[in-house]
Amino acid sequence: MRIDAVEFIGSFYKIDQIPQDDLPELPVFGRSNVGKSSVINCLTSRKIALVSKTPGKTQSLNYYKINERFYLVDVPGFGYAKVKQNLRESWKRVIEEWLTHSRKIQAVIQIVDSRHEAQTADLQLAEWLHHHRLSFIVIANKIDQIKKHELTAAIRKFEKTFGTDVYPFSAKTESGKKDLLQWLYSIVYTNHQYSSN
């Protein structure tokens, strides 16, 4: 798949603000600082999502319309201790409401840091996605930071832990970009028929 058109639609803080059309949504989830915004920039070949060394940069649901056909949604990172407890709780509610009620979520992209073992927060999200029967893949990002001979074992371990496909990736070197675009193509263009099409 080629990404030709990318349009930033907006940053939303409440579910009733998000686009009301029929286009499928693909949310990008993961702990703070794993590289969610960087992966979106890599896929779209644009510096469109804000990236920061400091965790907690993305604070709202950011909608990017891709090829006039679907939305990639940059989601605030979870598991970031410095975000105030009450803010974390209210976000959790917003996101649960969205994931539970939206019929437009086609699949979820969960990003993890390939350098570290899966953390409790990663596992909780995966469990929750399985529970709600949302299909998802795991992107093991930052593979430019791990040794080649450690990669295969790390990916296998993630696959076993998460119970889904795991794609090695580097937003920095763009390694894995072609495979991820191929997956997006299969999800958006071939798996699902929309009545509006």
Ligand X SMILES: Nc1nc2c(ncn2[C@@H]2O[C@H](COP(=O)(O)OP(=O)(O)OP(=O)(O)O)[C@@H](O)[C@H]2O)c(=O)[nH]1
- For the chain, helix, strand, coil in percent to 5 are 35, 20, 40
- Report the interface residues with ligand X, using CB under 6 A: 30, 32-38, 51-53, 55-58, 76-77, 141-142, 144-145, 170-172
Helix locations, 102-196, DSSP H? 120-131, 148-162, 177-185
Query: At closest approach, how far in Å is the CB of 70 from ligand X?
Result: 20
Look at residue 145 and give the partner it binds from ligand X, Mg ion, none, a contact being a CB closer than 5 to 8 Å depending on partner kind: ligand X
Residues 24-83 close enough to bind Mg ion by CB under 5 A: 36-37, 57-58
Return the half-sphere exposure (C-beta side, CA atoms, 13 A cut-off) of residue 138: 26
Query: At closest approach, how far in Å is the CB of 68 from ligand X?
Result: 25
Query: At closest approach, how far in Å is the CB of 24 from ligand X?
Result: 21
Query: At closest approach, how far in Å is the CB of 103 from ligand X?
Result: 26
Q: Closest residue to ligand X, Cβ-based?
A: 77
Residues 161-180 close enough to bind Mg ion by CB under 5 A: none
Strands ordered across the beta sheet of 6-12:
6-12, 61-66, 70-74, 25-30, 108-113, 136-141, 166-168
Q: Which helix (H) or strand (E) holds 139?
A: strand 136-141
Kindly state the number of chain residues that form the binding site for Mg ion, as judged by CB under 5 A. 4
Q: What angle do CA 10, 180, 168 make, to 5 degrees?
A: 115
Report the residue number, 34 or 187, with the smaller CB distance to ligand X. Answer: 34
Binding region for Mg ion (CB under 5 A): 36-37, 57-58
